[in-house]
Structure 1
Amino acid sequence: MHTHSSILRALAPCAAALLLGLPSAASAQSQLQLSGFLDVGIYHGFDRATHVGTIQRSNVALSGSEDLGGGLKAGFRFSSRFEMGTGAIEGDGAKPFWHDESTVGLAGSWGSLRMGRALTALWAYDWEFDPWANFNRIASPAWYYWHALAPTDRVSNNGSAEYGRMNNGFFYDSPAFSGVTVHLSATPDRTMAPGSQGRGYSAAMRYHAGPIAAMLAHERNGSGDRVTFLGGKYAAGAFAAMVALDYSRTGGGAASARALTLGATYAVGVTTLKAGYGRQRTGGVTHQFASLGADYALSKRSTAYVSLGHQKPSGARSATAFGVGLSHAF
């Protein structure tokens, strides 16, 4: 009994210090931020029907970070995408609630490392080389032609394909060295699709210096499908021009698709004019796409816009889509 009492008296100061430290630990919680992008419009689609709903993408995100000291920070992000016209989760229920991103990670002078579900190294940065940021279902050539035969995972959305996001992944972004950054993503999981050949990975190298931006990326999914992407952009004052080459092929090389897209933007006051062109060759046939648009900035966060796109599939009837919309970022 005497021994137990001695032990308790020895531990008492430690217990008191721990209890006194609890309020301090609780007060060191992450700073939370609610953000998002809301978009809704009325448009006549390529299906020749009229729709009211999201033309671009709508999402809401919860994120936070904590300074751990010594230049190290911890952070997290949860983001969900949805259809503004109905409030439904994007993807007709096949995609998870936190479809857009669900990650936690660390960042320091060495770069940042996140874990969870997020855009791969390719998909997270290709948007810079399309006037509509691969973000507009009417006017974006990238939306229809890039990475056509290489989904990031063929079955990760409850058995349906996912274009862009990797489940159970590791995501690394390097600091910039003379304008160059490196981005890597990979997963230890094997794809559960029939004929799976391994684990998915993605790598991208980006360059930014003055008016020039460029990107080279390669991605392979767990089913053996591959895509290689090269993009370039030149911006001078109010004008910007961009070009992208995309080559995707199925596992084993049974099918392939080559795409070329061109784009330009020009700012006139609060209005930004946009133009795009795309050409894709797959299965021995050629498809073409042309588009125009204009964004009018009502404020720093709110934009009214008009979009027009024209598809000309090889050997099929051409179609035109057009619409007007309103977006708000917060």
Structure 2
Amino acid sequence: MKKSLLALALVGAFAGVAHAQSAVQIYGTVDAGLIKRTDQSLAIGKRANNTLGFRGTEELGSGLKALFQLEIRYEPDSGTIEQGAGGVQRPLFQGQSRVGLQGSFGMIRIGRGLTAFQETSTQFEPFRGVPSPSGFQTDLMIAGYTSDPLGLVGNSTNRFSNAVFYNSPEVNGFQVNTTIGTREGSQGSAAIIGTGTAANPQYRVGSDASANPYSVTATYKSGPGAIMLATERNAVETRLLSIAAYVMATPELKLMAAHTRQDQDHTRLINAETKAWLVGANYTIGANRFLAGYGQKSPDGLSKTKQVSLGLEHSLSKRTYLYFDISNKKGPTTPPSVNHYAIGVNHAF
């Protein structure tokens, strides 16, 4: 009897230790608002991604820990899994699904997630990477580039699947982030044939990548400012180069600028180069944050795209804010000038 009681006590003690050394967190974002665009009726929509995520760590000893993160994305107006272009329903863990280790060497993960460039560059964009048309991340910040041209139909285009992600420790303000993907088949992607008769039709549905995709960023932070250098190559060998910087001119005012070049000469026979630049600012006063940006995208031999955006975020608490956005985008589209208006609420939990 005494041995049984001792055994139960030991099991309970070790269970308590294990519980103390591991942790799982449920987190997410709920964002919904009224959206109005030129030539479209008023609709319920979103400014930022709506997420439901699970992340956890386990202490392994000697400064080493295991970690994982799974992230679902959903539509706020219908409660369904997030939809891509044409209403295509995206995978369950569209946001990310990664597992890895962290220690003095940095952090290494395996799975699906934002590429090193796509993740790091949000620090240098005035709307912090939100996918709203008022923001710049999905077009001008990246010069119209896509990280995942052979991905499943409807997938977001700023992530690598089947990839290894490495984040180095920050040493004296310097850090390197790297993502390397495999050449696995695209498993149902759309054919990549470009635009017009000058396109290269070599990538068909289900194509393997012609090269391992990769993404590398180097950032340096010093005092009130930071600079980023980045390069990325996707699965069809489109290449991207980017330089960006920001400075906290005052504790309330953040100024930023970026320049990006995309080279599609592997898949396009003409008009292969696209350049883009933007400037932006954030100004915080009390509970209000003002956002402003202007940028241009210039494809070689084609018409420019120009965008100006203004936004206001009013904090109601540490987790909840109201937003008001207005933007105008001019370019080779129909119609050639598009206005976007949004008002809504964002809550993080």
Aligned-pair identity in percent equals 30
One-letter amino acid of the structure 1 residue matched with residue 225 of structure 2: I
Q: Give SS of 2:145's match.
A: coil
Out of 112, 118, 123, the position equivalent to 1:117 is 112
From the superposition, tell whether residues 262 and 226 of structure 1 become closer, same or farther in structure 2 (CA, over 3 Å). same
Matched, 1:296 2:318: no
Q: Give SS of 2:310's match.
A: strand
Q: Which residue of 1 aligns with 2:206?
A: none
Q: Give SS of 2:146's match.
A: coil
Q: Which residue of 2 aligns with 1:45?
A: 37
Q: CA deviation at 1:22?
A: 11
Q: Which residue of 2 aligns with 1:174?
A: 168
Comparing 304-313 with 26-35, greater Cα deviation is found at 26-35
Aligned counterparts, 1:150-299, within 5 A? 150-157=145-152, 159-160=153-154, 162-190=156-184, 192=186, 194-195=202-203, 196-235=209-248, 236-252=250-266, 254=268, 255-282=272-299, 283-299=301-317
Stretches (4+) displaced over 6 A: 20-23
> Aligned equivalents of 1:162 and 1:153: distance in 2?
8
> Aligned equivalents of 1:319 and 1:287: distance in 2?
11
> Aligned equivalents of 2:115 and 2:136: distance in 1?
20
Question: TM-score normalised to the size of structure 2?
Answer: 0.83
Q: Give SS of 1:133's match.
A: coil
From the superposition, tell whether residues 183 and 46 of structure 1 become closer, same or farther in structure 2 (CA, over 3 Å). farther
Report the count of equivalent residues. Answer: 311
How big is each residue's C-alpha offset from its partner over 1:228-281, in whole Å with a ceiling of 9 and x where there is no partner? Answer: 111100112100110011111225273221111110011111101111101111
One-letter amino acid of the structure 1 residue matched with residue 70 of structure 2: F
Out of 25, 28, 31, the position equivalent to 2:18 is 28
Q: Give SS of 2:275's match.
A: strand
Q: Which residue of 1 aligns with 2:122?
A: 127
Q: Which residue of 2 aligns with 1:318?
A: 337
From the superposition, tell whether residues 172 and 88 of structure 1 become closer, same or farther in structure 2 (CA, over 3 Å). same
Q: Is the 8 A contact 2:183 2:210 kept in 1?
A: no
Q: Which runs of 5+ in 2 are unaligned?
A: 1-6, 192-201, 204-208
From the superposition, tell whether residues 41 and 162 of structure 1 become closer, same or farther in structure 2 (CA, over 3 Å). closer
Question: TM-score normalised to the size of structure 1?
Answer: 0.88
> Aligned equivalents of 1:308 and 1:31: distance in 2?
41
Q: CA deviation at 1:139?
A: 1.6
Q: CA deviation at 1:43?
A: 1.3
Q: Is the 8 A contact 2:240 2:263 kept in 1?
A: yes
Comparing 218-227 with 131-140, greater Cα deviation is found at 131-140
Q: Which residue of 1 aligns with 2:3?
A: none
> Aligned equivalents of 1:153 and 1:228: distance in 2?
16
Comparing 57-66 with 132-141, greater Cα deviation is found at 132-141
Q: Which runs of 5+ in 1 are unaligned?
A: 1-16
Matched, 1:100 2:92: no
